[in-house]
Amino acid sequence: MTINPKDIRSKYETLFIDGKFQVPSGGLEDVINPVTGRAFGHAPVGTLEDAEKALAAARRAFDEGPWPHLDRNERADKMQLFLDKMIERQDEIIGLQMLEMGFTRMQVDFLVEIALMQTRRTIELARQDSIEQLPMLITPQADGTNLLGGGIIARDPIGVVAAITPYNAGWLLSIVKAVPAMAAGCTVICKPSPYTPLQTMLLAEMVSELDLPPGVFNVVTGGIDVGQKLGSDPRIDMVTFTGSDRVGQDIMLQAAPTLKKVHLELGGKSPLIVRHDADMALAVGAAIFGFVHQAGQGCSLTTRLIVDNRVRADFVASLVEGLKSLKIGDPFEVDTFMGPLIRDVACQRTEAFVQRALDDGADLVYGGKRPDYLKQGFFFEPTLFDNVANKSDLGQNEVFGPIGAVIGFDSDEEAVRLANDSVFGLGGGIISRDLGTAMKMALKVRTGTIYVNGGAGAFHADAAFGGYGRSGLGRENGKWGFAEYSEIKTITYCAR
Ligand code: NAD
């Protein structure tokens, strides 16, 4: 169905704390549409005062409220109600994200589909018995008798969870954190990015209709100060953070004095290995997805294109032809492939990457600047560099803008070595007609996710998502993500 941006609610005035909509102490702030660079709505601004209220409410709801002790099916029933609402209000959810992030319909549909799939799977997991029996043991005693014993492994909700999310997937990430956390019996405070607060306010509106006990789910918008408060406050038992590696590092430091659990989903510089025997059309399609999708604003996009030197020239030429055919512009126009970056500062950062790549001697083969024909908004041309040194700034650092870096290789061993020569380890891909060799290589690449010949074949709810190295700690999605929100308790007993 066509979505009309005019039909979408884009003005929210209250935060959601302790089961009530509350006036924020920071007033209201315009929310900018990155396509026009102008305000399209406004959102409440949370401050430390609001964070304090949310912390007190979430702690109280966990320590004194019924939620952690409810029958697991009762919590799952509430999540089912939420799933039904998501399905009902899908168009609104999609439209608001398109406006806030400047992503195309196809890109947002994908994010919403994952949110639905993950919520469905979490509900199934939440209904399963959380108690595991340990085998019975008979232990000989000094007096000649035998002691009969057994045990169980039980799961306890971890406690009060702070969910801090980035601008490029606030809806999805709030859901893949808050839904398993709540289903496990935790209470939650969500803090979205100040660039994209509205989608999390819409989430609050929908959760408010579930009639949860007060304090189980809270949303406090705001900036770094609110994030730091949640990261460091002793009333928080776990911080689940998605964002840049630099802020992830800060979160660890904030959490260290109280030794709270930290779950980090961070950035990447993921490799796409194109072998000499690759289907070239498939390789070019994967490469375009790898750095143009969401205007390069995706954590696990494969922005390092590691290409066999025997086919590199052909690959680059075909890729340039592919880039020429892409329409850049308003994501609400159906033939648009790529929208804008989130803010002007992101364009400036991308420009600085272009300049440094040129200074480092890489060859600019396509793009490299803001498009002259788009006079407003924060657009940047899809940009391709060839002859990039893997050790260079562009070879190592996350741009979060639409720049692809082509790096040549001469053997499979070298391709794997280059892929692994990164502080990150989030995503990756290999394109080859020799599936056995590609699989052997995939096993050696040190990233949390890697696909062979395209990722869509195994789009599974239990496909764990997370990274090695500076890409993070812990895993999200399915049974792996659900397990993050529980403490494991062993209870042993003797039959005396
Ligand atoms: P960011 O790290 O700048 O901000 C993320 C969140 O942290 C925001 O809510 C922000 O307000 C808050 N924050 C900022 N400084 C803070 C501090 N010192 N203490 C506590 N909170 C603080 O990230 P961004 O620019 O919004 O998003 C882009 C980044 O997110 C990229 O690096 C991208 O790779 C990463 N990301 C990772 C995943 C993943 O699943 N691994 C998914 C999406 C995005």
Q: What is the CATH number of the domain that holds 324?
A: 3.40.309.10
Cα distances (Å, whole numbers) of residue 236 to 239, 384, 473, 474, 494 = 7, 44, 18, 18, 35
Cα distances (Å, whole numbers) of residue 270 to 81, 133, 452, 471 = 37, 41, 14, 10
Tell me the pairing of strands 429-431 and 451-452. parallel
Both 242 and 302 in one domain: the answer is no
In a domain, 57, yes or no: yes
Alpha-carbon gap, residue 324 to 226, rounded angstroms: 43
In a domain, 467, yes or no: no
Tell me if 474 sits within 8 A of 264, measured CB to CB: yes
| 408 Cβ inside 6 Å of ligand 1 | no
Question: Could you give the 3-state DSSP secondary structure of residue 16?
Answer: strand
Of 265, 381, 398, 476, catalytic: 265
| 233 Cβ inside 6 Å of ligand 1 | no
Both 367 and 486 in one domain: the answer is no
Token output for 120: 């469905």
Tell me if 362 sits within 8 A of 389, measured CB to CB: yes
Provide the pLDDT for residue 130. Answer: 83
Range of the domain at 131: 5-266+473-492
Provide the pLDDT for residue 457. Answer: 59
In a domain, 50, yes or no: yes
Provide the pLDDT for residue 91. Answer: 94
Q: Which atom of ligand 1 is nearest to the CA of 268?
A: 34
Alpha-carbon gap, residue 4 to 63, rounded angstroms: 44
Alpha-carbon gap, residue 303 to 272, rounded angstroms: 7
Q: What is the pLDDT of residues 303-326, one digit of tens each?
A: 999 999 999 999 999 999 999 999
Tell me if 318 sits within 8 A of 284, measured CB to CB: yes
Of the candidates 485, 427, 477, 487, the residue with the CA atom closest to the CA atom of residue 452: 427
Report the pLDDT averaged over residues 160-173: 98
Both 222 and 89 in one domain: the answer is yes
Both 222 and 359 in one domain: the answer is no
Report the pLDDT averaged over residues 332-336: 94
Report the pLDDT averaged over residues 233-258: 98
Question: Could you give the 3-state DSSP secondary structure of residue 248?
Answer: helix
Provide the pLDDT for residue 7. Answer: 84
From atom 42 of ligand 1, which residue's Cα is the shortest distance away? 299
In a domain, 195, yes or no: yes
Question: Could you give the 3-state DSSP secondary structure of residue 266?
Answer: coil
Report the pLDDT averaged over residues 358-369: 98
Of the candidates 166, 105, 112, the residue with the CA atom closest to the CA atom of residue 338: 105
From atom 35 of ligand 1, which residue's Cα is the shortest distance away? 243
Both 391 and 254 in one domain: the answer is no
For the chain, give the number of residues.
496
Report the pLDDT averaged over residues 328-347: 96
pLDDT of 1 over the 90 cut: no
pLDDT of 29 over the 80 cut: yes
| 244 Cβ inside 6 Å of ligand 1 | yes
How many domains in the chain?
2
Provide the pLDDT for residue 129. Answer: 85
Q: Which atom of ligand 1 is nearest to the CA of 467?
A: 41
Tell me if 231 sits within 8 A of 162, measured CB to CB: yes
Q: What is the pLDDT of residues 182-210, one digit of tens each?
A: 999 999 999 999 999 999 999 999 999 99
Residue labelled with tokens 């053997």: 411
pLDDT of 5 over the 90 cut: no
Kindly state the DSSP code that residue 11 receives in the 8-state scheme: B
pLDDT of 250 over the 80 cut: yes
Report the pLDDT averaged over residues 220-233: 98
In a domain, 468, yes or no: no
Average the pLDDT over each of 283-297, 332-346, 442-456, 461-475 and give the range with the smallest value: 442-456
Phi (first) and psi of residue 189, to 5 degrees: -120, 120
Question: Could you give the 3-state DSSP secondary structure of residue 28?
Answer: strand
Q: Which atom of ligand 1 is nearest to the CA of 267?
A: 34
**What is the residue-averaged pLDDT of the chain?**
96
Both 179 and 240 in one domain: the answer is yes
Provide the pLDDT for residue 386. Answer: 98
Q: Which atom of ligand 1 is nearest to the CA of 299?
A: 34
| 178 Cβ inside 6 Å of ligand 1 | no
Provide the pLDDT for residue 495. Answer: 83
Which letter, b or e, does each residue of 74-87 get, where b requires 16 or more Cβ atoms within 10 Å of its Cβ? ebbbbbbbbbebbe
| 299 Cβ inside 6 Å of ligand 1 | yes
pLDDT of 138 over the 70 cut: yes
Of the candidates 464, 468, 488, the residue with the CA atom closest to the CA atom of residue 478: 464
Token output for 38: 């102008």
Sign of CA dihedral 403, 406, 407, 413: positive
Of the candidates 187, 193, 180, the residue with the CA atom closest to the CA atom of residue 162: 187
Residue labelled with tokens 């990155």: 34
User: Cα(165) to centroid of ligand 1, in Å?
Assistant: 6
In a domain, 356, yes or no: yes
Residue 255 sits in a domain of what CATH number?
Answer: 3.40.605.10
Q: Let me know if 265 is a catalytic residue.
A: yes
Phi (first) and psi of residue 495, to 5 degrees: -90, 100
Cα distances (Å, whole numbers) of residue 361 to 311, 346, 381, 386, 388 = 21, 23, 20, 10, 8
Of the candidates 148, 69, 68, 130, the residue with the CA atom closest to the CA atom of residue 492: 148
pLDDT of 456 over the 70 cut: no
Provide the pLDDT for residue 473. Answer: 98
Complete DSSP assignment for 187-238: EEEEE--TTS-HHHHHHHHHHHTT-PPTTSEEE----HHHHHHHHH-TT-SE
In a domain, 426, yes or no: yes
Long-range contacts: 347-351, Cβ < 8 Å, 24+? 347/378, 347/379, 347/380, 347/401, 349/399, 349/400, 349/401, 350/296, 350/380, 350/383, 350/399, 350/401, 350/402, 350/403, 351/380
Alpha-carbon gap, residue 431 to 451, rounded angstroms: 9
Both 280 and 218 in one domain: the answer is no
pLDDT of 468 over the 70 cut: yes
Instruction: Kindly indicate the confidence band of residue 2, based on its pLDDT and cuts at 50, 70 and 90.
Output: confident
User: Cα(97) to centroid of ligand 1, in Å?
Assistant: 17
Fill in the amino acid letter for 410: D
Alpha-carbon gap, residue 392 to 358, rounded angstroms: 11
Phi (first) and psi of residue 486, to 5 degrees: -125, 145
Both 413 and 315 in one domain: the answer is yes
Report the pLDDT averaged over residues 445-451: 96
Sign of CA dihedral 432, 434, 439, 440: negative
Provide the pLDDT for residue 458. Answer: 62
Both 285 and 223 in one domain: the answer is no
Q: What angle do CA 15, 19, 21 make, to 5 degrees?
A: 30
Both 236 and 312 in one domain: the answer is no
Share of the chain above pLDDT 70, in %: 99
Report the pLDDT averaged over residues 373-394: 97
Alpha-carbon gap, residue 346 to 337, rounded angstroms: 19
Q: What is the pLDDT of residues 419-432, one digit of tens each?
A: 999 999 999 999 99
User: Cα(462) to centroid of ligand 1, in Å?
Assistant: 24
Of the candidates 405, 407, 401, 423, the residue with the CA atom closest to the CA atom of residue 471: 423
Alpha-carbon gap, residue 300 to 428, rounded angstroms: 7
Phi (first) and psi of residue 432, to 5 degrees: -165, 150
Of 186, 190, 299, 347, catalytic: 299
Both 238 and 279 in one domain: the answer is no
In a domain, 465, yes or no: no
From atom 14 of ligand 1, which residue's Cα is the shortest distance away? 224
pLDDT of 496 over the 80 cut: no
Instruction: Kindly indicate the confidence band of residue 454, based on its pLDDT and cuts at 50, 70 and 90.
Output: confident
User: Cα(6) to centroid of ligand 1, in Å?
Assistant: 29
Q: Let me know if 92 is a catalytic residue.
A: no
Provide the pLDDT for residue 382. Answer: 98
Both 52 and 149 in one domain: the answer is yes
